Amino acid sequence: MDSWDSGFRGAPGQGMSHTLSFGGAASFFRVPYQNKLTDVDVAVTGVPLDVATTNRPGARLGPRAIRNASLSLAWERPWPWRTDPMAALRVIDYGDCEPVDGDLLSVSHIETHIAKIINSGVATLMLGGDHFVTFPSLKAHAAVYGPISLIHFDAHTDTWPSSGNAVNHGTMFHCAALEGIVNPASSIQIGIRTINEDTLGFQIVSATDVHQSSSRDIARQIRERVGNSPVYFTFDIDCLDPAFAPGTGTPVPGGLSTFQALSIIRELSGIHLVGMDVVEVAPAYDHAEVTALAAAQIAIELLCLFAESHRGRRNPR
């Protein structure tokens, strides 16, 4: 009998895969690798870039690490969701954004890559890469939806002003706000535990706020902030405490537990989610794949959230 590898020969929408977790193609949750965007709801794509980091490099290996970790989770739908996102949605692994002719990935290059996906009426789940890669993704989404509402889980606000013309993984949301790509008045940042006096109008929910509140209350604040506006959800893995995510470039003690983050996500059904990413996994600093595993779990639960949030909602394109 011929072997069957869903990463190569599966079909979008087939549901969670029961093929081997320790062999075969390392696609995201065993969804098929595919470069065609017809009859697809969500394209998972990696952006292996870390030249914009200001501390420890290595996040360029994040997309591969997240895919590998996802294989051990791919055998059943995520608990406690009632929805199997791989059955409710036609999801493909679109591979990675690659440089052209040996050049480094640039804002325009990544933006073009993401724009090709969303201009086909397909949503994106992007795997980073350092957090800078969210900037060109936001630009592509804003070209379709207008100014975006941002749900941002992180230890850092990433709204520090740039020095000169440079944009890095700590300044890109400052640029995004000034350029009108995101709307700070309907955006919220969760898990913050570093000092930045100028919030630019973003609502800040500190890590202390999360620890002293229920997940349901934090989710209520998020839903009230973003309303019915188009939402991009970005999760920097350093939002988690280093005990739960040591494999990242700029870890900060005192962060969220994996359970807290997942509990908040599970309370957000109904938001108008249009794009999402998980970034800053740096496997060289990881231990026993604990960071990559947390990132894979967060990513699949974002797909669950997307599936439930888009029931009955028409694609604006």
Predicted local distance difference test score (pLDDT) of residue 317: 37
Question: Does the annotation place 286 within a ligand binding site?
Answer: no
- What span, in angstroms and rounded, lies between the C-alpha atoms of 127 and 48? 8
- Residue 1 within any structural domain of the chain: no
**Tokens 């509140």 -> residue:** 213
Question: Does the annotation place 217 within a ligand binding site?
Answer: no
- Share of residues in the chain with pLDDT > 70 (%): 89
Predicted local distance difference test score (pLDDT) of residue 315: 43
- Residue 317 within any structural domain of the chain: no
Q: Tell me, what DSSP letter sits at residue 25?
A: -
Question: Does the annotation place 211 within a ligand binding site?
Answer: no
Query: Which one-letter amino acid corresponds to residue 236?
Result: D
Judging by beta carbons within 10 Å of its beta carbon (0-12, 13-18, 19+), is residue 309 exposed, middle or buried? middle
- How distant, in Å, are the alpha carbons of 142, 162, 195, 224 from that of 45? 19, 27, 32, 30
What mean pLDDT value characterizes the chain?
89
Mean pLDDT of 103-111: 75
Question: Does the annotation place 154 within a ligand binding site?
Answer: yes
In terms of residue numbers, what domain contains 167? Answer: 6-309
Phi, psi of 213 (to 5 degrees): -125, 165
- Residue 289 within any structural domain of the chain: yes
- Residue 63 within any structural domain of the chain: yes
pTM given for the model: 0.92
For residues 202 and 168, the answer to whether their CB atoms sit within 8 Å is: no
Predicted local distance difference test score (pLDDT) of residue 314: 40
Predicted local distance difference test score (pLDDT) of residue 20: 64
- Residue 141 within any structural domain of the chain: yes
Structural domains counted in the chain: 1
Q: What CATH number does the domain containing 33 carry?
A: 3.40.800.10
- Residue 276 within any structural domain of the chain: yes
Least confident of 26-35, 271-280, 281-290, 304-313: 304-313
pLDDT tens-place string over residues 153-177: 999 997 867 765 667 666 778 888 8
Question: Does the annotation place 238 within a ligand binding site?
Answer: yes
Judging by beta carbons within 10 Å of its beta carbon (0-12, 13-18, 19+), is residue 98 exposed, middle or buried? exposed
Query: Does residue 124 carry a pLDDT above 70?
Result: yes
Strands (E), the chain: 42-47, 91-96, 123-128, 149-153, 188-192, 203-206, 230-236, 272-279
For residues 16 and 86, the answer to whether their CB atoms sit within 8 Å is: yes
Predicted local distance difference test score (pLDDT) of residue 108: 81
- Residue 315 within any structural domain of the chain: no
pLDDT tens-place string over residues 303-315: 999 999 876 444 4
pLDDT tens-place string over residues 87-105: 999 999 999 998 765 555 5
Predicted local distance difference test score (pLDDT) of residue 267: 97
Predicted local distance difference test score (pLDDT) of residue 40: 96
Pull the structure tokens for residue 52: 């914009």
- What span, in angstroms and rounded, lies between the C-alpha atoms of 257 and 227? 26
- Residue 27 within any structural domain of the chain: yes
Mean pLDDT of 1-11: 65
Exposure string (b/e) for 115-141, b if CB count within 10 Å is 16 or more?
bbbbeeebbbbbbbbbbbbbbbbbbbb
Least confident of 101-115, 180-194, 265-279, 280-294: 101-115
- What span, in angstroms and rounded, lies between the C-alpha atoms of 104 and 107? 10
Q: Tell me, what DSSP letter sits at residue 93?
A: E
Question: Does the annotation place 277 within a ligand binding site?
Answer: no
